[in-house]
Amino acid sequence: MSEFGLMGVDWEERVNFDRLRRERLQKAKDALEKSRADALFIFAMEDVRYVTGFRSHLGPVAILGLAAAVLPRGRDPLLFTLDMSHSKMRMPWIKPENIMERPFIRTEGGTKKWAEEVQARIGKLAEGKIGVDIWTYGLSQWLPKYFPKAQFMDGKEILAQAKMIKTQDEIECQKIATIITEAGFQAFLEHLKPGLKECELLAIAWQKFTELGSEWTQCANIVCSGPYTAPYRRFTSDRVIREGDLVIVDIGACFNGYWGDFTRTYVCGDIRPTKEQIELHQECYNTLFNACAEAVVGKTNGDIGKHLNDPKKNPNSDGLSGGHGAGLNPWEPPWVANLSPDAIMSLREGMLFSIEPYAGKPGIGGFRLENQVFVGKTEPDIITKLSFDERLLKDVHPFDKTTGRKRL
């Protein structure tokens, strides 16, 4: 677990960002070679970043035309960006001639111009197999028209193979994102009391994220309370939280593109929960750690998923228990929820999962809990260390290393 500072220093090894970029690019090149594709057209911003190290402003949706990358087989990537001057000045790991103007692929004319630039740079490779990671209706019409000899294929899957196993520096970035997220939770908890709005408490956590260098947040972020916990309403509102309300908090900071993401449920105020609430929270808690325990080499993502998707193991999930892989995209393969047979895969060391069961009943309350866990050789590496509300627990799981230690 990362226990040191967040910035780069000369007196000890922390995140080595040069190595991070080199190893990510090499993994993408290896995946491209293995796929037998001749080039990748990369439009998703997180995938452009994975291959080139380019960062722009982050948003909740794909932004076609802001930037793109082309990775030709056996060659270095090409970066097309609105921020061309900035990138040439501050990204010395990419040759200046490989940084070009933005790809205005929102229109047919812009796509035609971009296609001509790509063909001029990669030559015969533009006539081979080309993986594309975002395939809009417009692109489905224009790319075949302006790359008439190419055969198009799923580029998202090619990059997924590269991204699923994290490098040592990716793991370090992920753990730092977790530390920042924990700090946001602590700031939230210091202010959690009756009479505050959900959105006020989220603002406090978000402020702490930003103070510590978070680039963005894992989603719109969720603070929901009282009747909104069951049925579960997954966004933050202006509701005023009252004494005794359950409060679900699902937030995550971003460190250099890697996303913290975990969830806890608390009772607001100095008040005891009901017996029924304790039972539901314990069900959710047990499901969480039983699923996390499967994150070891020799198991499959299906072994994790069986705890989340089986009504006998998680009877009050309301269909909301789930999870996902994570990395530069906070939701990416391997998947663990609602798995079809073709999605089952063996777990490998360095895979990362966000595991998030739910248990709830209207009139009693709902509970969402979530940990991030790396697949380990002999036991899971649960990097989410934040403790749980002890008032809601009867038994502490052996893999929970913090709950129960606050009061001796």
Measured CA distances, 192 to 195, 270, 327 (Å): 9, 11, 30
Q: What is the DSSP string of 201-239?
A: HHHHHHHHHHHTT--SBSSS-EEEEGGGBTTB--S---P
Per residue of the chain (408 residues), what is the pLDDT tens digit?
467 888 889 999 899 999 999 999 999 999 999 999 999 999 999 999 999 999 988 766 678 889 999 999 999 999 999 999 999 999 999 999 999 999 999 999 999 999 999 999 999 999 999 999 999 999 999 999 999 999 999 999 999 999 999 999 999 999 999 999 999 999 999 999 999 999 999 999 999 999 999 998 887 789 999 999 999 999 999 999 999 999 999 999 999 999 999 999 999 999 999 999 999 999 999 999 999 999 999 999 999 999 998 888 889 999 999 999 999 999 999 999 888 899 999 999 999 999 999 999 999 999 999 999 999 999 999 999 999 999 999 999 999 999 877 654
Residue closest to 366 by CA, chosen among 258, 247, 263: 247
Q: How far apart are CA 57 and CA 37, in angstroms?
A: 30
Running DSSP on this structure, what letter comes out for residue 312? T
Question: 181 with 260: CB under 8 angstroms?
Answer: yes
What domains lie within the chain, and their CATH numbers? 17-163 (3.40.350.10), 168-392 (3.90.230.10)
